Chain A
């Protein structure tokens, strides 16, 4: 009887594990099969190398995703440039410098930050960050890539801080003790011993933060101006892949080229996040082997 019960539980968990794989494959298959019909009318070359996206044009529809691809990369890169140093610094502070009392207040606060709805952050981008950027850079308005980057950095920070801190925490105490015993200062121990030892965890944290930034929709939709032109600089409007899908999927007539093309964008987005996660995994494993 006990054996049967154990087998049953084993089976349930196996099924749960399998379910995730099935869902993932299902989503991938759906994206592939729904985007294929788009390429009956659009050449793959136009889709991947043309920068002009205007399916509801007055004159001639065009379906090039280069501008939004560049937009997505710009906003994500900007967010990482802000969030990674800030996130790792905060994590190091929380794990090594802060007193227990500070940590007990600060860590839950960081985690609450993760729970703020993206639409609220987008709203702050319009009323707070936008006017601030406009003032600092002497622009007429603050709806641009920099605004999106700052907001996405705020959204990626909790992930980066929380997971990096866990990684630093899990470095064996003996490393630190050995370093200190050899006469290293606390700073030297942190930078030369603990951070390298926790590197795999920190890289994973940054990759997950990046995943969040690439896929985020509402915030960038509200704060970046959404002009479909090829972005010129961080101080110009951008329109990411996610905002394009969000703007257009609501009104697009089903089963048209435009509809299929939007799934095509989704597929490209899926492949990018997949590659990001996979390379994170490879880096992680390679590093662990070296560490051993």
Chain B
């Protein structure tokens, strides 16, 4: 009997501690597929340095993360796009006050198969390709081969960013809708006729297995690569974009502590190791005004 009591006591202690973790110290982060590996890595380093703190990072796409923040289902939403005015109104209606923090810079990379001879495109050409107006590689200086488009699904922030910034119109109905950055990278590695777009962090390890297209903002301008950190930070690369996190109200406690870690020199170094770029001064100013951290 006494033995059973002992087991019971241990079990209940274990249970109690588990409940504690869930209730108080577990930070829930949800959203962008582009950001998930990066934030996961940041969370791991942070937990190693701060024993007793727990962070859970899950994906689902920027749209899903923002919806979760609005519904109070997560502490931080990862977003590779900005919140839409409609979403902000929706959040306000439910008593949430979303604040934006920029944690890294991304050079959204247009990728093609290694065997494809086209290695540079203008912003305008990319728009035409994804709108379905250019359908053959020979129209942009390549071989005579129909173009196969690979993009994301509509819950993706990258889907929305790319459409609003580059296409300014609808994607071709023939674009394959893939489930995440990694799936696009895999498809492009195999498909000679393919073109796709992914966060620069996803081409870092694969850059010897596929072409990262150099992009010019207009026909006469210089072609720049998303792998060049200066061009991304200065915004000379036409598809450079900030990667964001949204929090509800001015961040406090564990949330604030983790964001401070992300923005610290140590956090920014991890961001570089993951293939993304540290934030420039203009966004440091922005963060200070938005949440009082820089």
Instruction: Given A250-B155, A251-B64, answer yes or no on A141-B191 (Cβ-Cβ < 8 Å).
Output: yes
Instruction: Tell whether, in the assembled complex, residue A251 and residue B67 are in contact, meaning their CB atoms are under 8 Å apart.
Output: yes
A188 within 8 A of B: no
| Closest B residue to A237 using CB positions | B176
Whether A58 contacts B170 by the Cβ 8 Å rule is yes
Contact between A227 and B154, CB atoms less than 8 A apart: no
> Are A251 and B173 in contact, CB atoms less than 8 angstroms apart?
no
User: Given A58-B167, A143-B187, is A228 in contact with B155 using a C-beta cutoff of 8 Å?
Assistant: no
> Smallest Cβ distance from A58 to chain B, in angstroms?
5
- Looking at the assembled complex, report how far the CB atom of B61 sits from the nearest CB atom of chain A, in whole angstroms: 6
Chain B residues with Cβ below 8 Å from A237 are: 174, 176
Q: B70: nearest residue on chain A (CB-CB)?
A: A253
**Cross-chain contact B176 with A227 (CB below 8 angstroms):** yes
Which of A3-11, A49-57, A208-216, A270-278 is near enough to bind chain B?
A: A49-57
In the complex, whether B3 has a CB less than 8 A from a CB of chain A is no
Contact indicator B168/A140 (Cβ below 8 Å) = no
Interface residues as binary, A129-149 with B (CB distance below 8 Å gives 1, 0 otherwise): 001001000001101000000
Q: With contacts defined as CB atoms under 8 Å apart, how many contacts are there between chain A and chain B in the complex?
A: 76
Inter-chain contact A250/B86, CB cutoff 8 Å: no
Task: Give chain A residues whose Cβ lies under 8 Å from the Cβ of B153.
Answer: 226, 247
Closest to B131 in A: A58
- A292 and B133 alpha carbons, distance in the complex (Å): 63
* Distance in Å: Cβ of B58 to nearest Cβ of chain A: 12
Interface size class of A (residues with CB under 8 A): 20 to 34
In this complex, the member of B86, B90, B169, B175 whose beta carbon has the largest number of chain A beta carbons within 10 angstroms is B175
B154 and A251 form a contact (CB under 8 A): yes
Given A58-B169, A251-B154, A253-B86, do A229 and B193 touch, yes or no (CB 8 Å)?
A: no
Q: What string of 1s and 0s marks CB contacts (under 8 Å) between B155-194 and chain A? A: 1000000011001111011111111000100110011111
**Chain B interface main SS type:** mixed
Which residue of A57, A58, A67 contacts B168 across the interface (Cβ within 8 Å)?
Answer: A58
Complex interface: chain A residues within 8 A of B174 (CB)? 227, 229, 237
Are B187 and A239 within 8 A (Cβ)?
no
Closest-CB distance, A63 to chain B (whole angstroms): 14
For B238, the chain A residues whose CB sits under 8 A away are: none
Is A225's beta carbon under 8 Å from chain B?
yes
Find the A residue at minimum CB distance from B169. Answer: A58
Question: Is B107 part of the binding interface, using a Cβ–Cβ cutoff of 8 Å?
Answer: no
Give the chain B neighbours of A222 by CB distance below 8 A. 179
- B61, B177, B187, B193: the one contacting A227 at CB < 8 Å is B177
List, in ascending order, chain A residues with CB within 8 A of B169's CB. 58-59
Residue of B nearest to A56 (CB): B154
Q: Using Cβ atoms and an 8 Å threshold, which residues of chain B touch A177?
A: none
Complex: A248 Cα to B148 Cα, angstroms = 23
Contact call A141/B170, Cβ cutoff below 8 A = no
- Give Cα A54 to B175, complex, Å: 13
Chain B residue, CB-CB nearest to A249 = B155
B63 interface residue (CB < 8 Å to A): yes
> Which residues on the B side are within 8 Å of A225 (C-beta)?
176-177
A-chain residues with CB within 8 Å of residue B164 when the two chains form the complex: 58
* Interfacial chain B residues near A221, Cβ < 8 Å: 179
Tell me whether B60 is interfacial, beta carbon within 8 Å: yes
Do A228 and B90 contact each other (CB < 8 Å), given the known contacts A58-B167, A58-B170, A247-B154?
no
B145 neighbours in A (Cβ, 8 Å) = 140
A:241-266 near B, CB below 8 Å: 247-248, 250-251, 253
Structural contact, B155 and A247, CB atoms closer than 8 A: yes
The answer to whether A57 touches B170, judged by C-beta atoms less than 8 angstroms apart, is yes
Interchain CA distance A48-B148 in the complex, whole Å: 29
In contact, B60 and A250 (Cβ under 8 angstroms): yes
Chain B residue numbers with a CB within 8 Å of A58 are 163-164, 167-170
The residue from B148, B163, B168 contacting A141, defined by CB atoms under 8 A apart: B148
| Cβ–Cβ contact B167 & A228, under 8 A | no
> Could you tell me if B64 and A250 are in contact, using CB atoms closer than 8 angstroms?
yes
**Looking at B179, B183, B186, which has the most chain A CB atoms within 10 Å of its CB?**
B179
Chain A residues with CB below 8 A from B191, complex form: 140-141
Q: How far is the CA of A222 from the CA of B186 in the complex (A)?
A: 13
* A221 to B174 alpha-carbon distance, docked (Å): 15
Residues in B57-94 with C-beta less than 8 Å from chain A: 60-61, 63-64, 67, 86-87, 90
Q: Which are the 7 A-B pairs with shortest beta-carbon distances?
A: A251-B63, A229-B173, A251-B155, A225-B176, A226-B177, A140-B193, A141-B191
Given A57-B170, A227-B176, 8 more A-B residue pairs with CB atoms under 8 Å apart are A131-B190, A140-B191, A140-B194, A227-B173, A230-B173, A248-B155, A250-B63, A251-B64
The 17 listed contacts between A and B (C-beta, < 8 Å) are A58-B167, A58-B169, A58-B170, A140-B148, A140-B194, A141-B193, A143-B176, A226-B176, A226-B177, A228-B177, A230-B173, A237-B174, A237-B176, A250-B61, A251-B61, A251-B63, A251-B67
